[in-house]
Amino acid sequence: MQSQKLAIGSLLLLAFIFIGCNSTAKLDANKEVINRFTEVMNNQEWDGLDDLVLPNFVRHSDATIGPQVKSLEDFKNLQKEFLKSVPNQKVTIEKLVAEGDYVAALATYSGTQDGPMPPFPPSGKEFASKFIGMFRFEKGKIAELWVEWDNLALLMQLGHFPPPEQGEK
């Protein structure tokens, strides 16, 4: 009886270790997808997103005014539009935290506003703006993203806020 309890206990311990390791491996794999996603975005290798993001990908953001992103193609088009404002855009990951099917990112978006950012004209100014993102995974790929940042802080860096006085140019 004692040996059966010991055997069962050993099996449970091995199962716990295996599940824990397997779970850790999944979390690390999801983080690696985010690192690769960032690299692809920074290099503007849009076709590389096909291996990382599901076709029915959805992006949520209250910070972005404009088109809804309800597919990978919508997302690629949005990123190409962002390049019109900031052709040298770069994302730098500072911290990734993973749990279950989610990875949270603290990152910095930087570049130079060389093009219009409607309704604002090009400023020619460099900026670096912190943002947070929450990625949801399905089948090892990114299925959904929530991303938010401080628009006011970004506009201040670009010289668009406070707005010029009436008549001032």
**What are the φ and ψ backbone dihedral angles of 155, each rounded to 5 degrees?**
-60, -35
Delineate the domains of the chain, giving CATH numbers in brackets. 2-157 (3.10.450.50)
pLDDT of the residue at 6? 55
Residue 107: exposed, middle, or buried by beta-carbon count in 10 A (0-12, 13-18, 19+)? buried
Report the alpha-carbon distance of residue 131 to residue 164 in Å, rounded.
26
Q: What is the pLDDT of residues 9-42, one digit of tens each?
A: 555 555 554 545 458 899 999 999 999 999 999 9
Contact assessment for residue 57 and residue 72, using Cβ atoms and an 8 Å cutoff: yes
Of residues 66 and 115, more confidently modeled:
115
**What is the rounded distance in angstroms from the CA atom of residue 11 to the CA atom of residue 16?**
9
Which of 19-23, 66-70, 117-121, 149-153 is the least confident region? 19-23
Higher pLDDT: 6 or 95? It is 95
The percent of residues above 90 in pLDDT, for the chain, comes to 77
pLDDT in tens, 54-102: 999 999 999 987 778 999 999 999 999 999 999 999 999 999 999 999 9
In this structure, the number of other CB atoms found within 10 A of the CB of residue 65 comes to 9
